[in-house]
Amino acid sequence: MAYLIDTDIIIYSLKNNEIVINNFKSFSNYPKAISVISYGELYFGAKKSKNIEKNTAIVKRISETFEIIKIDKTIIELFGEIKAKMQQTGNITSDFDLLIGVTALSYNYTLITNNENHFNKIDGLKIENWSNPLPKNDI
């Protein structure tokens, strides 16, 4: 099992959310990555923050800790296919969230997010919320 970590979960970990930290520890032996979209969101947040230098350094450290999955042709094609289906059904999500979700689908990763309702619209996407305590038998 491998995990794609959404932006919000990274932010919770930076804010020392105990549940998120414990889940990172519980799954420390599993591969984890972030989408280049999440990296961009984190970088943007650092650049608009009050402590730009410190927060930019933190984001750069994150890029050294996690693999950054770039958007490639396969991901873009799947994005186009799924977005077209979603528009036909009126079941729409933001392009950035869709790109993150499609990245997880493309790599067969489980998406770790607190924004479940942003991603539940994407058929076939495996989602876990590490900001909630996991039942003991799942660890």
pLDDT at 136: 47
Query: What is the rounded CA–CA span in Å between residue 123 and residue 110?
Result: 13
In sequence order, what are the residues at sequence separation of 6 or more whose Cβ sits closer than 8 angstroms to the Cβ of residue 6? 34, 38, 100, 111, 112, 113, 114, 115, 119
For 16-54, the pLDDT digits (tens) are: 999 999 999 999 999 999 999 999 999 999 999 999 999
pLDDT at 138: 45
pLDDT at 106: 96
Given a cut of 70, whether residue 66 has pLDDT beyond it is yes
Given a cut of 60, whether residue 10 has pLDDT beyond it is yes
Token pair of 138 as six digits: 């799942």
For 92-139, the pLDDT digits (tens) are: 889 999 999 999 999 999 999 999 988 998 999 999 999 976 544 444
Task: Evaluate whether 96 touches 37 at the Cβ level (below 8 Å).
Answer: yes
Looking at residue 8, the DSSP 8-state letter turns out to be H
**What angle in degrees, to the nearest 10, is found between the helix axes of 73-89 and 95-107?**
120
- For the chain, list the domains and their CATH numbers: 3-133 (3.40.50.1010)
